[in-house]
Amino acid sequence: MGQQSFRRTLLVFVGLQLGQVMSSIDGTIVATALPTIAGDIGGFSRSTWVVTAYSLAMVASMPIYGKLGDLYGRRRILLSAIAIFLVGSMACGSVQTMDQLLVARFVQGLGGGGLGALSMATVADIVPARQLGRWLGYQGVIYAVASAIGPIVGGLFVDHLSWRWAFLINLPIGLLAAAIVATKLQLAYRRIPHAIDWSGSVLLTGGLSLFVLLATLGGHEIPWGSARALGAGAGLALISVLFLRRERRAPEPVLPLALFRNPVLRVATGINFTSGLLLWCGIFFVPQFVQQVREVSPTRSGLVLMPLMFGAALGTLVTGRLVARTGRYRTWPIAGSVLMTVAMVLLAGLDEGSPVLAAALSALLLGIGAGFVMQPSLLAAQNGADPSQLGTATSTTLLFRTLGNTVGIPVFGGILNAGLSGTGLSPADVAGALRPVFAVAVVVGLVSIVVALRLPERPLRERTAFEVGVARERVLLQTAPPDPEVIR
């Protein structure tokens, strides 16, 4: 990569990361602002849906963006995602009721679903797989830092400006990202015959929505044995059957089932799901231990998560550089799964007398393990996918990671609530209720190790996915009449 090419790649990378920063910060920035928002516009009983609406829209739209990027070109679809996100951000900053905020957050999530998936796929378009680990490492660091500072930024806006700035701050960032992508990202492609799988998209969105709603509300607001729960479960089963039938017949399926015949992609999605579960178990329940068991302030408990985010950033940097140097990635998801499992074993051993430092060190180990797992497994998926399905493979892998995030908290929360039923809230009681949460996470970690051991090692491509696609297109042009419509 020449100096001029490197500068252009770096500038495009910055523009892509600005979009991802908006998405990752917005997933956490409302955490500290929610009480103030609910006090200002009302609807406190539904305030948790401000987070759920955003994550639900992201999960539902992510695979669709991957397919649209493969069909129409990632630049124009990425710009569309930024535009949708900014419209949602403006709406969030001007709402007057909780109902309006929930709708605006859903729109914002529809845009956010494309920012992360398309950004990562675009990086793979412009960087050879051999060098991709390093760039994905930088991307992982940015994601970890942005997620960690989200609650802090939200608190600063609430204390010194207005909670509305937690959403309006996206406007200048998004406009700058759009300007860079529009002017500097040049990915030419040849339009090919295609058909959008709208039926599959609707079924996928409906199925994921029911799945997330059941995982979020099941056992709490919706008792598992109730008619609503049984009806939702039956609806989910029916939609799943219809979706699988549709994807087998669709000429351009939104989620090609053939992807899962690829052993690299099959293992990568599994690892991302289990690691998402483990990571968010730590993010959510380590502060619970620190606050409820060790009885420290919320501010101090938030600082205990800094080692986790630092560890994740360190892990992604280390693996990114070493994968780029050696061309081998298989060892890291295995080692990361082991580290995450050991961290959960240590957390399961905490009691009311354990020091806060022990929780912080366990969080650090968990973060390093997550950094070892997530970026190399994503790189493996991108390297193992056909260049024509790069966006779909990327978004599918990230979809399973996001599902781990989304499902992990309510599932582990249900285990915690079951342990607290009939007991008080003394530090010893909370520590006892948290122990089975981390014990179940240990089992998830063991499953992650078994899955990671099945990851095949494939040589990393020396050319970018875009260059591979161009070379293939030239071969096709030698045997077919040229297409007059070439889009830049």
Q: Which pLDDT score, from 0 to 100, does residue 462 have?
A: 62
Residue 484 has pLDDT above 60, yes or no: no
Q: Which pLDDT score, from 0 to 100, does residue 485 have?
A: 41
Burial class (CB in 10 A: 0-12, 13-18, 19+), 136: buried
Q: Do the domains 258-457 and 1-192+462-488 match in fold?
A: yes
pLDDT in tens, 117-135: 788 778 777 777 667 667 7
Could you tell me the residue ranges of all domains in the chain?
Answer: 1-192+462-488, 198-250, 258-457
Percentage of the chain lying above the pLDDT 90 cut: 19
Q: Which pLDDT score, from 0 to 100, does residue 477 have?
A: 45
> What mean pLDDT value characterizes the chain?
79
487 pLDDT tier (thresholds 50, 70, 90): very low
Q: Which pLDDT score, from 0 to 100, does residue 81 have?
A: 92
Is pLDDT larger for residue 380 or for residue 301? 380
Question: Cα(295)–Cα(6) distance, rounded to whole angstroms?
Answer: 50
**Hey, which CATH number is domain 258-457, 3.20.20.20, 1.20.1250.20, 3.40.50.300, 1.10.620.20?**
1.20.1250.20
- Determine the average pLDDT of the residues in 41-45: 70
Q: Give the least confident one: 12-21, 36-45, 73-82.
A: 36-45
Is pLDDT larger for residue 98 or for residue 443? 443
The dihedral of CA 335, 337, 340, 345: what is its sign? Answer: negative
pLDDT in tens, 148-157: 666 667 767 7
Residue 449 has pLDDT above 60, yes or no: yes
198 pLDDT tier (thresholds 50, 70, 90): confident
Q: Which pLDDT score, from 0 to 100, does residue 476 have?
A: 44
Question: Cα(135)–Cα(131) distance, rounded to whole angstroms?
Answer: 7
In the numeric block, the tokens 């729109």 are attached to: 107
Residue 284 has pLDDT above 80, yes or no: no
305 pLDDT tier (thresholds 50, 70, 90): confident
Q: Which pLDDT score, from 0 to 100, does residue 37 have?
A: 79
Q: Which pLDDT score, from 0 to 100, does residue 185 have?
A: 77
Enter the pTM of the model.
Answer: 0.72
pLDDT in tens, 308-328: 878 888 888 888 788 878 888
458 pLDDT tier (thresholds 50, 70, 90): confident
Percentage of the chain lying above the pLDDT 70 cut: 82
**Hey, which CATH number is domain 1-192+462-488, 1.25.40.10, 3.30.390.50, 1.20.1250.20, 3.40.50.1780?**
1.20.1250.20
Greatest C-alpha distance within the chain: 76
* C-alpha R_g of the chain: 22
Question: Cα(426)–Cα(95) distance, rounded to whole angstroms?
Answer: 40
Q: Give the least confident one: 91-95, 203-207, 337-341, 445-449.
A: 203-207
Residue 2 has pLDDT above 60, yes or no: no
Dig out the tokens for 441 from the structure. Answer: 């996470």
Residue 386 has pLDDT above 80, yes or no: no
